[in-house]
Amino acid sequence: MSKIRGFKIAKGWEDKDINLPVRKTMHAAGYDFECAEDTIVPSFKPGTNPTFIPTGIKAYMLDDEVLYIYNRSSNPKKKGLVLANSVGVIDKDYYENPDNDGHIMFAFYNFKDEDITIKKGEAIGQGIFSKYFLVDTDKSGGKRTGGFGSTDK
């Protein structure tokens, strides 16, 4: 059986007891991602960089698909956590890239007054696979040569 889309453990995380994302109900659109190791997200101060929460997961998909990653709906109210980029876009060619093997991380800001600890195994967000379309004049042909934030290099 050929593989169409799914999740695997990223290199370096194989022995860390990582759970692959799953849908919790049969009508859920998103696959729930967990935090791969205890991580502290400091309270936001001007000039603060987002905290990257590791998942230990990489995703494979068809050529005309993308994986969108979204915040968990309860995170802003309960924990003050918002995604720095609002919605993460995981491209097909991010999978097994030479920099980080396609390791998916969630970039959070913490708007609470106190630091927040996210425990290993705690749900942090969800991923939804989707098709995308090209315009008639598309001439893309570049190849990804790196990991996070490398599309324009």
With beta carbons less than 8 A apart as the criterion, state whether 145 and 153 touch.
Answer: yes
pLDDT at 143: 72
Residues of the chain whose pLDDT is less than 70? 1, 144, 146-153
pLDDT at 79: 96
Residue-range domains of the chain with CATH: 8-131 (2.70.40.10)
Burial class (CB in 10 A: 0-12, 13-18, 19+), 59: buried
Report how far apart, in Å, the C-alpha atoms of 86 and of each of 40, 68, 153 are.
Answer: 20, 10, 22
3-state secondary structure of 92: helix
With beta carbons less than 8 A apart as the criterion, state whether 144 and 97 touch.
Answer: yes
Residue 48: count other Cβ atoms within 10 Å of its Cβ: 13
Note the pLDDT tens digit of each residue in 76-105: 999 999 999 999 999 999 999 999 999 999
As a whole number of angstroms, the distance between CA 80 and CA 114 comes to 9
In the chain, count of helices (H) and strands (E)? 1, 10
Residue partners of 36: CB distance under 8 A and separation at least 6: 13, 16, 18, 53, 54, 55, 56, 57, 120
